[in-house]
Amino acid sequence: MLAPAKINLALHVTGRRADGYHLLDSLAVFTRFGDRLQIEPAERDAFSVSGPFASGVSLDDDNLVVKAREALRREAGAARTPPVAIRLEKNLPIASGVGGGSSDAAAALNGLARLWALDIDEAELARIGLTLGADLPMCLKAKPLIARGIGDELSPLAGFPALALVLVNPGVAVSTPEVFKALSRRDSEALPPLPSRLDFHTIWNWLETTRNDLEPAARSIQPAVDETLKALKRAGAAFARMSGSGATCFGLFETGNVAKRAAIDIRGRHPGWFVAATRSMEAD
């Protein structure tokens, strides 16, 4: 199972609920690059992690993959959910603004529902996912969409094309609670309507009219975000922005080959950084 990176192309913070959850209006896409999960029947439950970012992953009951397994087991009953071995290949940086943990948990829910042959629909999986985190419902869909509310009100975007992207993380983690705490305002307007014709140029022009409201706060906490954005622009990105609460940033490129050359350039200048050239998944 692929657990793709979630990229917030635009993110406006439009309010705050009484329970402390922030209200968002975000255009999100999911990439062909991400973590990977392998799930198979076993004599007893097991969870293991490999990959370049494995050392930062908890293996205990606090891990979202383990929580997803147990949440689905509670829902379906122990008799229908026998032991499984889950292996996570962690290719995405930890706490990096690309929804890695949520995407891992969503892939686990989808994969386990399939392996256990459970009669459970998308809405039920989304309900279970929401108990694990606000990002889970959109990660379960993993297609271009507008997310509103706390991230649970989803509008899939028909006809949204695949985009060539370069993802860059300077090797620093940024605390999401700290970023939200540092926000200067929490009452931004909603995203403007998308253009009727969706292609590289119209999306690029539309993005110029939007923001990531979390970016200024993240930059104040972690100046490496600025350096990352500059590196993407220096490598020829038509558009560059931070994703989510950071510190991962993305660059938008007109073609996949241009994106690959840019990734090589950035790796050469910053050998210690995480850099990945990829494409977003298009709408069905």
From the candidates 104, 135, 152, 213, give the one annotated as an active-site residue: 135
Q: End-to-end CA distance of the chain: give it in Å, rounded.
A: 18
Of 164, 198, 162, 157, the C-alpha closest to 281 is: 162
Of 95, 91, 98, 90, the C-alpha closest to 7 is: 98
* Close Cβ partners of 265 (under 8 Å, ≥ 6 residues apart): 234, 235, 236
Of 77, 69, 29, the C-alpha closest to 47 is: 69
Q: Is 135 a catalytic residue?
A: yes
From the candidates 6, 35, 90, 152, give the one annotated as an active-site residue: 6
Q: Is 45 a catalytic residue?
A: no
Q: How many C-alpha atoms does 211 have within 13 Å on its Cβ side?
A: 12
Q: What tokens does 216 get?
A: 């200024």
Distance CA 257, CA 272 (A): 23
Q: What tokens does 176 get?
A: 């999401």
Catalytic residues: 6, 135
